[in-house]
Structures are given as C-alpha cells and as structure tokens.
Structure 1
Amino acid sequence: MNRPLRCLITDDEPFARKGLQRYVEQLAFLELRGLCADALELGEHLRRQPIDLVFLDIEMPQLSGLEFLRQAPGPHPQIIFTTAYEQYALAGYELDVLDYLVKPISFERFVRAAGKAYDYFRLRIQPEANPGYFFVKADGRLEKVVFADILFVEALENYVTIYTAERKIITHSTLKALLARLPVSTFVQTHKSYLVALQHVDFLEGNVLRLRQHQVPISKLMRPQVLTQLGLMDL
C-alpha cells in the first residue's frame, strides 16, 4: 500500500496511552490519528474519520473493549488488543482480532503486531505482485528506483537521500512516505532518520550497521526491531 496505516490508541490509563504513542511514532508505516480514554470516545472518533487499525485495551470503565467490538455496528477497523490480562485471549480471537498484546508490551513485540497489520492491509488492498520499483522526482525529472538497488535511505527535514551502490538520489519526501512504498519485510527503520535494506547489511558492530563503505546508526529504541528482522539476538 502507498500510505501509512491510520490508527487510534484506546486505553483508560494515561501512561499506557503515552507508551503506545511513543511506539507508534517510531514506525513510519503507522500514522496516529488520535488517543482515546475509553470505548465511548473511540466510537466518536470512528464516526468522524476513517481508521484502519485500533490498539484497544479490554478492561475499561463503562464499556470494555470486548463489549465495544460485540456491539459495534457494521464493519469496523482491524483490532489489536492491548491488555494486562491473558484470560481474554480466546474471546479476542473469536472476535477475529489481528493480535493480542499482553502488558507490559515490549517494542519488539509491538513491531511484530504492527507489521502483521501492515501486511494484512497490503495484501488485501494490493494483492497484485509488487513491481519492485517506484519513481521519484529528482533534478527536475522522474527517476526509477529499483528496490533491490537501495542500500539505505537518509532523511533530513522534508528531503530524503536514497543511496544505491552507484549513486545517490535526493528527492522531496519524508521517511514515513517512502517506507510506505517499500516492502516492510526487506527494509527496516534503524533510526528516526534512516531506513536500511536488510539484504545489503555486511555486519553489525555495536549500534552501527555497515553497508559497503557506509555506516548507519541504530537508535536504542529501534535496536530490538532491527535485531529481530536481522534474525539476531541482542547479546
């Protein structure tokens, strides 16, 4: 798909909302559209704007997350439950939720759930084969960029630089917009300003990835996600 997933966070605990917000803001393929303190507020948001995905707590005052889903009329956004209670897992899966996250939620586990949601929408909305390339505007013309040629991408304000083995292309865009056009299974965000093609990583040393002659930093928050997608353990 060519845009981020529009999502809402619903939890009656301010600390939990803040933690999930921080996670969402670190993933370029998610776009936060609102924070809700209860299911009633969630219902108001859903009536006002289109939403793809809701991170939904279960035990909340007035109306629980389970009750909200059972009463919701018509089609509703995809749901990822976020709860401190494991005993609701079966009920959640009976309601066909995408995933079930038990608090405290690690960033690594959150990334896996969010990636599952992104893949669900990508395959549902764009089931046809991905062409493996896109075009960007650079130097007054449209340049073809093949996914397999990309080493990494660096962002600076409203511009990104796409590095390949032979050249670098500077285009007016954001990291979030670019990641939405790339397959999340082969590209990973290592830092708020960097995306990396996993197949071109030569080695990891500390918090730096080496790709040929280039070095790309890994932020502390992104490290679990990077190691997971590289198939490594954080020793």
Structure 2
Amino acid sequence: MTTDDPAAVRLADVRDTIARAARQAGRDPATIELIAISKMQPAEAIGALIAAGQRSFGENRVQEAEAKWPALIERHPGLRLAHVGRLQSNKAADAVALFDAIHSVDRLSLVAALAKAMDRGDRRPDCFVQVNIGDEPQKGGCATTELPALLAGARDAALPVRGLMAIPPADVEPAPYFALLARFARDHDLDQLSMGMSHDYATAVMIGATQVRVGTALFGARP
C-alpha cells in the first residue's frame, strides 16, 4: 500500500474525520466502529479497502452479500459484516448465518423470525432496533411511538439488542434527529447508536454514534 492508493487515502480521511469529531466531543475515537457500506461494490473495491486496513463492512441485501462475502471472509479472517437494509422475515435465517450484526430490526414479525433462526443455529448476531426517526412513510424502521413495545418484544424473545439505528430525513439538519435517537437509547438503557452516513457522520459522532455507516466517502460513487 502506498500513500497514493485511492482506497487508503479515502479510508485515512474518514478515520481522521471521525477522530477529530470524537475528540471535540470528549470521546475516544477507538470506541467508534466505522462500517464501510459495500452494497453494489465489486469484490476488487472491497479488497482494496481490506488491504488498507478496514475490517467492518455492511450490506443491505442478503442475496448480494451471500454472493460476495463467504469467499472474502475465507481469505481475510477477522472481518465483521453487518446487515444494514430492510430485512425480509423469510431471509432471517440466512442473515443470522452470515452477518455479525443486524441493524434493521423494525417489527415484531422480524423479531420472531430472528429469534427462531438464532435458536436453531449457533450464531447470535448483535441486533439494533431501527427507528423511523423522521416519521417518513417511505423508510423502514418502527414508529417512535412503537419503540417501547418493539424493544420489549425483542427482549422477551432474547434477541441480543445492543442499540438503536436511524436514518434522518434527507436535506435537513440531522443533529436534532441524532439527539432524539440518543435520548431514546438512554431512556431504554441502550449504549450503542448506529447513525451517520457519508454526508453527516461527523455530526453523528459528536452526538454519540458508536457505529457510523459510510459508503460513498470510502468507495467513491457507486457503479
């Protein structure tokens, strides 16, 4: 790897931005997981980021992940893979088998499917409950008013719920939405927050993100 390697340069820039935002907020940058969102990216582009030192990745479709990741994981032990898109209940078992974390638990039917898959298998991926923080009908996530019941159902089903996830509305200041998600997490005794993408991850870090999901800033424009 050389300093003019585009993947290495982009990764260093994103890590530096996270570190600066964390320090401004009085946080340890090491406590923040950078998830490289690799949907629609070829294995070659993913491999370049792995070579540059990236270890956590995210995909939003089970079928695409199944086509790319088993071979990559075999070649590069120690990688961590998260599911970050809307998850169909009939794909729950496949998701449990492949992913280390599921960031889009948004309804009780999915809770039941994931619990069944985890009970049958020997893997228990970390789970994040997705909140539709801006009350947008086109987005996944549970309504804010439904969050207590969904969390209770997930805990009753013994899902390993680690935190909350949200995507703020586009083209508005994201900070109030990040702050609201952080408040919900505190109210429900959760200490992990999956929030922030390429355009707003620094803001998310300053407000408490423990996972940021960055695609374009690491890979460039999607093919």
Q: Is the TM-score greater than 0.5?
A: no
Q: Which has the higher contact order (CA 8 A, sep 6+)?
A: 2
Please report the TM-score for the alignment, with normalisation by the length of structure 2.
Answer: 0.34
TM-score relative to the length of structure 1 = 0.32
Higher share in strand: 1
Structure with the greater alpha carbon radius of gyration: 1
Between Structure 1 and Structure 2, which shows a larger proportion of helix residues? 2
